[in-house]
Amino acid sequence: MYRGRSSLIRHRWWSAAFGLVLMLTATGCERSSSSKDKSESEPDTQPQQQQQKQDEFVAGSEADVFTYALESDPESLDPMKISGVPGGRVAYNLFEGLLMPARTTEGAESPDDLVRPGIAKDWDVSDDGTTYTFHLREDAQWSNGDSVTAQDFIYSWKRTLLPGYPVDYVQLFYVIRGVRDYNNEETESNWEDVGIEAPDEYTLEIELEHPTPYFPQLVAFYTFFPQPKGPVESHGGDWTSPEHIVTNGAYTLASREEGEQLVLEKNPNYWDADSVSVERARIRIISDSETLVEDYRDEKLHWTGRSITPWQVPEFRDHADFRREPTLGTYYVQINVTDEEHFRSEPAFARALRLAIDREALIEEHLNGVFEPADSFVPDEVSGYASDTEIETDVERAKELIKKLDVPSGEALGTIELLYNEGKLQRRVAEALEARWKETLGLDVELVAKPWEKYLESLDITAYEMARSGWVGDYDDPMTFLELWTTDNGNNDTGWSDDEYDELIEKAKAAPQSSDRREHFHEAESLLLERGPVIPIFHYVSHELVGSQIEGYEPHNRDIHLLKDLSVE
């Protein structure tokens, strides 16, 4: 995402592309989505009267409660089943983990600076870095008044780790001793073999397979949040409906109208309720970015809640409400390689497509120059790591690789489908790639657009040939980007598997020194771009509108801004 080498971007951000306009996205590593536009026009200027109105408006002054937006409906409100940015944004307000993301990542110097106490008031780490002891608050309660105890976390995690349970992020738990075997249907393992214990109601001990410097960030991620046993077992999949849901975060779910809005209310039983200023919040579902900006300009929103499009940036670049921040996210194209007999499964095909793209020109000519070209898969903003890969443009080399593909004699390459989720940003990128690959390689690309939910479904069941995708880090470490491509990872929707790559990631996990971890990551990332089915395009930058009367909104490289931290003057 933010590339310090370029003069194009010098500010900070994120919104979720995947969940963001562009975001993505990704979520956590999250999948990111993007906004959909009614208008085909891309004006760089606005009428004078509209500019005057922009200078005079007060964000949210026409809203009866604090109001912001999501680009699409959360696919679920069950923390264990969420894999997209929209759901994650809501989950962080409804639920609370042992730890929570820090208010800001600005100035962070160590992994501990990236988290803060949540249900755990403090925690200890053994000298060898493999055992964490979390001390829970005795005054923490669920919204129904029940105490939040260590057993709530054990119940939730055990449920998530059952073999076959539908959760994309189960691999995040594999750093805990015994979890991998317990989660594997082919191994005989009992829960007693897992390194999770509760010595008493308010103490939770977790033993890891090896030192994991980013483990505090994992327990601050929503997949590790607790679920209320009673409602889950009484109402099954319907436990997250407004009439049944029980939460332990700063807010409860007052109502939900799918496709329209969610309304959150302050949880009076929250342990830190006295510090929560925003009593009620409306989260509107606004997929069209033209409507998003229009409603913000009409004072119906306090905060856009996600990034505006590249074509809307010029209008607001100098406005006081404009926030531009780099984010831990990458926009890329992935290839379905499950059919080993098809030429698209050959590593040379992905390499050819990468070499044929002029990323800087694509961004300048089609995206208003607001993103950073991706010379790597891991964004530069990841703390303590700098990729040493370089993705060049070499059309002649790309043509040579295409000629060597294993295509039956006398047959042409045919047409390759490129799937993307509906939205102006996605369409513009897809059209640019289609034209570029046709011009340079003679490749015919058929563009296939689907609504966000259908798009995710196609990825999940690998029902595509090529697809645009986006990944926003779940935590601030190279692992969140590189573990994605390991065999059997729940979010690796390409069918790609490489034993050497898997081994490098395992070595990085077990490496005792930071320098050793970086070396393994560098090797893995180089291998990914040599053999893998991934074509990085750009790194995300968020461009959001935040009312100047909002206090507590701080820079965050994963665009996490909790309602409990905000207030409106």
The tens digit of pLDDT for each residue in 494-551 reads: 999 999 999 999 999 888 778 889 999 999 999 999 999 999 999 999 999 999 999 9
Whether residues 355 and 504 share a domain: the answer is: yes
Whether residues 400 and 518 share a domain: the answer is: yes
Q: Is the pLDDT of residue 32 over 60?
A: no
For residue 145, the enclosing domain spans 99-233
Q: What is the CATH number of the domain that holds 522?
A: 3.10.105.10
DSSP string of 25-77, one letter each residue: --TTTEE----B-S-----SS--HHHHHHHHH--TTTT-SSEEEEESS--S-S
Whether residues 201 and 344 share a domain: the answer is: no
Q: Is the dihedral of CA 292, 293, 298, 304 positive or negative?
A: positive
User: Rounded to 5 degrees, what are φ and ψ at 9?
Assistant: -130, 125
Q: What band does 193 get if pLDDT is binned at 50, 70 and 90?
A: very high
Q: What is the CATH number of the domain that holds 107?
A: 3.90.76.10
Of 180, 204, 233, which one is at a domain's C-terminal end? 233
Beta carbons of 94 and 107 less than 8 angstroms apart: no
Q: Is the pLDDT of residue 28 over 50?
A: no
- The pairing of strands 444-450 and 567-568 is unpaired
Q: What band does 55 get if pLDDT is binned at 50, 70 and 90?
A: low
Q: What band does 447 get if pLDDT is binned at 50, 70 and 90?
A: very high
Whether residues 226 and 336 share a domain: the answer is: no
Q: Is the pLDDT of residue 4 over 50?
A: no
Domain presence at residue 441: yes
Residue 475 buriedness (CB in 10 A; 0-12 / 13-18 / 19+):
buried
Average pLDDT of every residue of the chain: 88
Query: Please, which residues bridge with residue 204 across strands?
Result: 134
Beta carbons of 142 and 228 less than 8 angstroms apart: yes
Q: What does the DSSP 8-state code read for residue 413?
A: -
CA angle 436, 374, 29 (to 5 degrees): 115
Whether residues 352 and 487 share a domain: the answer is: yes
HSE-CB at 338 with a 13 A cutoff on CA atoms is 14
- The mean per-residue pLDDT over the stretch 35-64 comes to 58
Q: Which pLDDT score, from 0 to 100, does residue 414 have?
A: 85
Number of domains in the chain: 2
d(CA 455, CA 156): 29
Per-residue pLDDT tens over the stretch 70-120:
988 998 999 999 988 889 999 999 999 999 999 999 888 888 899 999 999
Whether residues 215 and 343 share a domain: the answer is: no
Domain presence at residue 364: yes
Of 233, 253, 281, which one is at a domain's C-terminal end? 233
Beta carbons of 140 and 119 less than 8 angstroms apart: yes
pTM of the model: 0.82
* Least confident range of 5-14, 369-378, 415-424: 5-14
Q: Which residue has the higher pLDDT, 47 or 480?
A: 480
- Name the residue type at position 474: D
Q: Return the exposure string of 260-295: e unless at least 16 CB atoms fall within 10 Å of the residue's CB, then b.
A: ebbbbbbbebbbbeeebebeebbbbbbbbbbbbbeb
Q: Is the pLDDT of residue 405 over 60?
A: yes
Q: How far, in whole angstroms, is CA 179 from its chain's centroid?
A: 24
Per-residue pLDDT tens over the stretch 130-182:
999 999 999 999 999 999 999 999 999 999 999 888 888 898 999 999 999 99
Domain presence at residue 462: yes
Beta carbons of 2 and 381 less than 8 angstroms apart: yes
Continuous H helices in 283-345: 289-297, 313-316
- The pairing of strands 66-70 and 280-285 is parallel
- The mean per-residue pLDDT over the stretch 302-316 comes to 94
Continuous H helices in 187-345: 215-219, 229-235, 289-297, 313-316
Whether residues 353 and 216 share a domain: the answer is: no
Of 175, 205, 233, which one is at a domain's C-terminal end? 233
Q: Which pLDDT score, from 0 to 100, does residue 514 have?
A: 80
Q: Which pLDDT score, from 0 to 100, does residue 352 have?
A: 96
Per-residue pLDDT tens over the stretch 321-358:
999 988 899 999 999 999 998 999 999 999 999 999 99
Continuous H helices in 171-245: 179-183, 215-219, 229-235
User: Rounded to 5 degrees, what are φ and ψ at 63?
Assistant: -100, 140
Q: Which pLDDT score, from 0 to 100, does residue 408 have?
A: 66
Q: Which pLDDT score, from 0 to 100, does residue 56 have?
A: 67
Q: Which pLDDT score, from 0 to 100, does residue 7 have?
A: 23
Whether residues 408 and 530 share a domain: the answer is: yes
Nearest to 545 by CA among 93, 54, 42, 86: 54
Sheet harboring 203-207: ordered strands across? 120-125, 131-136, 203-207, 196-200
Whether residues 226 and 349 share a domain: the answer is: no
Domain presence at residue 228: yes
Domain presence at residue 535: yes
Domain presence at residue 473: yes
Domain presence at residue 532: yes
HSE-CB at 97 with a 13 A cutoff on CA atoms is 24
- The pairing of strands 444-450 and 415-421 is parallel
Whether residues 377 and 520 share a domain: the answer is: yes
Question: For the chain, first and last CA: distance in Å?
Answer: 33
Per-residue pLDDT tens over the stretch 112-127:
899 999 999 999 999 9
Domain presence at residue 352: yes
Percent of the chain residues topping a pLDDT of 70: 89
